[in-house]
C-alpha cells in the first residue's frame, strides 16, 4: 500500500488520480456496435452476445417458466435476505415522495409543480463473476414506486444462455416488466434504438464496465437519458485513533474486491492507525476468494497522513468519493462539512456493505469525481418535474404590461402581441 505523508494541496490532484483503464479505440468499437444494432436489431444483438459472452441464445426474452424455475433454485435464506433488503429500500425511497407544490405568484397567476414517472426505463445489471442482484433492488424498487409503466432489465447470459437465478428472483419480486438475456454494448444499444425484442426506453440506469459506461454516454446522443456517468468503484475512509483498524481494513477490502481498477483510500491524522490498518489488510486479504482481484486494487491504494481534520476535509471534498466512511472522534465536523460524496457512512458500526445491500439507501452512485455535480440514484431519478400555470383575467392584467415591455426589449414582437391582444380584448369587453 502506498503511504503518503502531508502532501501539499498542489499535489492532491495527481495523488488522487483514479486508476482508470484505457482501451484502444473503445469509442470506435461502441459506435460500430451501435450502428449495427440500429440497423439489424436482434440479429446484431445475437452476433455480439455470441462474440462477447460465448452464448447462443435462441430467445433473449426470459419466459415466465424460466423465472419460476430459477426462483425454485434460490435458497429460502437468500430469499429472506433479499426481502428484508427490499423492505428497507422501499421504506427509504417511498419517504422521498413529494407533494404537489402550488403558489399564487401574484393575484390571478397560479403556478404549480408536479412529478410524473418516466414511462419507459431500462435497467442494466452486470453478470459475470459478481452477478449484482442487489442492483436490481436499487433500481427496480424506486422505478416501481415512481410508477414507471415499463421497467426493462438487461443482464448478460452465462455460457449456457441463462441469467443468474438471484437476479431473476429479485427482478420478479420488484416489478420488472421484461427481462432480457443481453449484456454489454449491445444491451445499451438495444435499449437505445429498440429491436424486435428489446423495447426502446427513455432512460437507462445501472453500472457496468468501461464499455458499458461509454455506451451509456453514447446513448445520450440518440435522445436517451442516463442515470449518471459511472466508472470503477471507489471508497475513501477518514479515520483517527477512535477507529477500529480491523473494521477499516475490512471496508477497504470490500471495495477492493470489486475489481482491479477499484480505488480505496485511507486519510488519517494518526500514523499509528495507518500502520495498524496496513497490517490488518495483509491479514484479511489472505482469506478472500477474490484475493487476486483485491490485491491489484490494494497495490494502487493510498494511505494518506495529514496533520489535522481541516486539511483532511479539504482533501476529501477535492476528491469527491463515491463512498465516504467517517470513523472519527469528530464525525459531526466531517458529516456537516462534506460537500462532495455519493453516500456517507458514519461510525465504526456502519460498513459500506450496509449501503450496498440492506440499510435502505441506494448504492448506484457517482464515481470518478462526479459526486461534485451528480446525485446518486433516488426516487426523483425515475420521475420528471412538470410545471403548470393558469392565469385569470385579473392575472394577465397584473403581469401583462411587464411581459410586453420585456418582449419588446428582446425584439420578439409575436411574444408581445400574444399578450397585447388579450389585454385589448379585456379592455373592449368592459
Q: What is the pLDDT of residues 39-74, one digit of tens each?
A: 999 999 999 999 999 999 989 999 999 999 999 999
Instruction: Tell whether residue 113 is among the known ligand binding residues.
Output: no
Pull the grid cell for residue 8. 501539499
Q: Are 236 and 325 in contact (CB under 8 A)?
A: yes
Pull the grid cell for residue 358. 440492506
Instruction: Tell whether residue 381 is among the known ligand binding residues.
Output: no
Instruction: Residue 396: give its domain's CATH number.
Output: 1.20.5.1300
- Separation of first and last alpha carbons in the chain: 83
Q: What is the pLDDT of residues 176-190, one digit of tens each?
A: 999 999 999 999 999
Q: Which of 346, 273, 329 is nearest to 306 (CA)?
A: 273
Report the catalytic residues.
Answer: 322-323
Q: Do 267 and 188 sit in the same domain of this protein?
A: no
Name the burial class of residue 91, with classes exposed (0-12), middle (13-18) and buried (19+) by CB atoms within 10 angstroms of its CB: exposed
Instruction: Tell whether residue 209 is among the known ligand binding residues.
Output: yes
Domain assignment present for 293? yes
Domain assignment present for 386? no
Q: Do 255 and 352 sit in the same domain of this protein?
A: yes
Query: How many CA atoms lie within 13 Å of 129's alpha carbon, on the beta-carbon side?
Result: 9
Q: What are phi and psi of 376, to 5 degrees?
A: -75, 170
Its pTM stands at: 0.94
Domain assignment present for 238? yes
- In total, how many domains does the chain have? 3
Query: How many CA atoms lie within 13 Å of 84's alpha carbon, on the beta-carbon side?
Result: 10
Query: What is the per-residue pLDDT for 30?
Result: 96
Q: Do 236 and 210 sit in the same domain of this protein?
A: no
Enter the DSSP assignment of 377: P
List, in order, residues 6 or more apart from 215 with CB less than 8 Å away: 30, 33, 34, 184, 185, 188, 189, 208
Q: Do 152 and 248 sit in the same domain of this protein?
A: no
Domain assignment present for 9? yes
Query: What is the per-residue pLDDT for 105?
Result: 98
Instruction: Tell whether residue 6 is among the known ligand binding residues.
Output: no
Query: What is the per-residue pLDDT for 112?
Result: 98
Which of 341, 360, 379 is the endpoint of a domain? 360
Q: Cα–Cα distance between 319 and 237 in angstroms, integer? A: 12
Query: What is the per-residue pLDDT for 131?
Result: 86
Domain assignment present for 373? no
Q: Cβ atoms within 10 A of the Cβ of 405, count?
A: 11
Instruction: Tell whether residue 410 is among the known ligand binding residues.
Output: yes
Q: Cβ atoms within 10 A of the Cβ of 222, count?
A: 12
Q: Are 86 and 173 in contact (CB under 8 A)?
A: yes
Domain assignment present for 42? yes
Domain assignment present for 387? no
Paired with 263 in beta bridges are 234
User: What stretches in the chain show pLDDT beneath 70?
Assistant: 21-24, 430
Question: Domain range spanning residue 339?
Answer: 2-17+231-360
Instruction: Tell whether residue 348 is among the known ligand binding residues.
Output: no
158-192: b or e for each residue (b if 16 or more CB lie within 10 Å)? eeebbbbbbbbbbbbbbebbbbbbbbbbbbbbbbb
Q: Do 92 and 152 sit in the same domain of this protein?
A: yes
Q: What is the pLDDT of residues 2-36, one digit of tens each?
A: 999 999 999 999 999 987 766 667 899 999 999 99
Q: Cα–Cα distance between 318 and 155 in angstroms, integer? A: 35
Enter the DSSP assignment of 61: B
Pull the grid cell for residue 296. 491489484
Q: Do 206 and 60 sit in the same domain of this protein?
A: yes
Q: Cα–Cα distance between 109 and 103 in angstroms, integer? A: 9
Q: Do 139 and 32 sit in the same domain of this protein?
A: yes
Which of 229, 261, 296 is the endpoint of a domain? 229
Q: Do 204 and 79 sit in the same domain of this protein?
A: yes
Q: Cα–Cα distance between 235 and 302 in angstroms, integer? A: 11
Domain assignment present for 379? no
Q: Are 49 and 157 in contact (CB under 8 A)?
A: yes
Q: Which residue shows C-alpha cell 466508472? A: 231
Q: Do 213 and 291 sit in the same domain of this protein?
A: no
Q: Are 273 and 243 in contact (CB under 8 A)?
A: yes
Instruction: Tell whether residue 356 is among the known ligand binding residues.
Output: yes
Query: What is the per-residue pLDDT for 22?
Result: 63
Q: Do 205 and 92 sit in the same domain of this protein?
A: yes
Which of 336, 360, 384 is the endpoint of a domain? 360
Q: Do 327 and 353 sit in the same domain of this protein?
A: yes
Q: Do 183 and 235 sit in the same domain of this protein?
A: no
Q: Cα–Cα distance between 318 and 396 in angstroms, integer? A: 48
Instruction: Tell whether residue 258 is among the known ligand binding residues.
Output: yes
Instruction: Residue 34: give its domain's CATH number.
Output: 3.40.50.1980
Instruction: Tell whether residue 217 is among the known ligand binding residues.
Output: no
Amino acid at each position: 500500500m502506498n503511504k503518503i505523508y502531508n502532501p501539499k494541496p498542489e499535489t492532491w490532484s495527481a495523488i488522487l488520480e483514479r486508476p482508470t483503464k484505457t482501451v484502444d479505440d473503445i469509442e470506435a468499437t461502441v459506435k460500430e456496435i451501435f450502428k449495427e444494432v440500429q440497423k439489424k436489431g436482434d440479429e446484431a444483438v445475437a452476433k455480439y452476445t455470441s462474440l462477447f459472452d460465448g452464448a447462443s441464445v435462441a430467445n433473449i426474452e426470459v419466459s415466465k417458466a424460466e423465472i419460476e424455475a430459477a426462483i425454485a433454485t434460490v435458497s429460502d435464506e437468500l430469499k429472506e435476505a433479499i426481502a428484508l433488503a427490499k423492505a428497507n429500500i422501499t421504506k427509504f425511497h417511498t419517504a422521498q415522495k413529494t407533494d404537489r407544490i402550488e403558489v399564487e405568484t401574484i393575484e390571478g397567476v397560479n403556478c404549480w409543480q408536479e412529478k410524473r414517472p418516466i414511462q419507459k426505463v431500462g435497467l442494466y445489471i452486470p453478470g459475470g463473476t459478481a452477478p449484482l442482484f442487489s442492483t436490481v433492488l436499487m433500481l427496480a424498487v424506486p422505478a416501481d414506486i415512481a410508477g414507471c409503466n415499463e421497467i426493462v432489465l438487461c443482464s448478460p447470459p452465462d455460457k449456457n444462455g441463462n441469467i443468474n437465478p438471484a437476479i431473476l428472483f429479485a427482478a420478479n419480486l420488484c416489478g420488472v416488466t421484461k427481462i432480457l438475456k443481453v449484456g454489454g454494448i449491445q444491451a445499451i444499444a438495444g435499449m437505445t434504438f429498440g429491436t424486435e425484442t428489446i423495447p426502446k426506453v427513455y432512460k437507462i440506469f445501472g453500472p457496468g464496465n468501461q464499455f458499458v459506461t461509454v455506451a451509456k454516454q453514447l446513448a445520450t446522443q440518440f435522445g436517451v437519458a442516463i442515470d449518471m456517468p459511472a466508472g470503477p468503484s471507489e471508497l475513501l475512509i477518514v479515520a483517527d485513533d477512535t477507529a477500529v483498524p480491523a473494521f477499516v481494513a475490512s471496508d477497504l477490502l470490500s471495495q477492493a474486491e470489486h475489481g482491479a481498477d477499484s480505488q480505496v483510500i485511507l486519510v488519517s491524522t494518526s500514523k499509528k492507525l495507518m500502520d495498524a490498518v496496513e497490517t490488518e489488510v495483509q491479514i484479511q486479504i489472505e482469506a478472500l476468494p477474490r484475493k487476486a482481484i483485491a490485491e491489484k486494487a490494494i497495490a494502487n491504494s493510498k494511505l494518506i497522513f495529514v496533520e489535522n481534520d481541516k486539511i483532511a476535509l479539504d482533501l476529501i471534498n477535492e476528491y469527491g468519493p463515491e463512498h465516504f466512511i467517517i470513523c472519527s472522534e469528530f464525525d459531526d465536523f466531517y458529516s456537516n462539512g462534506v460537500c462532495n460524496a455519493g453516500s456517507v457512512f458514519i461510525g465504526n458500526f456502519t460498513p459500506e456493505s450496509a449501503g450496498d445491500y440492506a440499510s435502505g439507501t441506494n448504492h448506484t452512485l457517482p464515481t470518478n469525481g462526479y459526486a461534485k455535480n451528480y446525485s446518486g440514484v433516488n426516487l426523483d431519478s425515475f420521475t420528471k418535474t412538470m410545471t403548470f400555470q393558469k392565469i385569470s383575467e385579473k392575472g394577465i392584467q397584473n403581469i401583462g404590461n411587464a411581459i410586453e415591455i420585456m418582449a419588446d426589449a428582446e425584439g420578439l414582437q409575436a411574444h408581445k402581441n400574444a399578450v397585447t391582444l388579450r389585454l385589448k380584448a379585456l379592455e373592449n369587453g368592459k
